[in-house]
């Protein structure tokens, strides 16, 4: 149960980073969002 909660929390974090990048940085948007999402997926896999 705790693992599911942690996964949901990390998904919310990555979504928050995505929204922040959309809101603050419209330049190089694809690169920054993919970097953040890749960071979170790598962190989750470890």
Predicted confidence (pLDDT) per residue in 31-42, tens digit: 666 666 666 666
Q: Which residues contact 43 (CB under 8 A, 6 or more apart)?
A: 10
- Rounded distance, CA 46 to CA 31, Å? 22
Helix or strand holding residue 46 (H, E): none
What average pLDDT score do residues 15-25 get?
68
Q: Alpha helix locations (H) across 1-46?
A: 2-24, 29-45
Tally of CB atoms within 10 A around 21:
19
Average pLDDT, the chain: 70
Residue 46 has pLDDT above 70, yes or no: no
Spatial contact of 37 and 19, defined as CB atoms under 8 Å apart: no
pLDDT digits (tens, 9 = 90+) for 9-18: 888 887 777 7
The residue-averaged pLDDT of 6-26 equals 74
The pLDDT of residue 8: 85
All structural domains of the chain with their residue ranges: 2-45
Indicate the pTM of the whole model.
0.37
């Amino acid at each position: 149960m705790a693992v599911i909660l942690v996964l949901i929390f990390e998904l919310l974090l990555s979504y928050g980073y995505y929204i922040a990048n959309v809101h603050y940085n419209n330049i190089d948007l694809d690169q920054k969002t993919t970097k953040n999402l890749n960071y979170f997926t790598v962190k989750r896999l470890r």
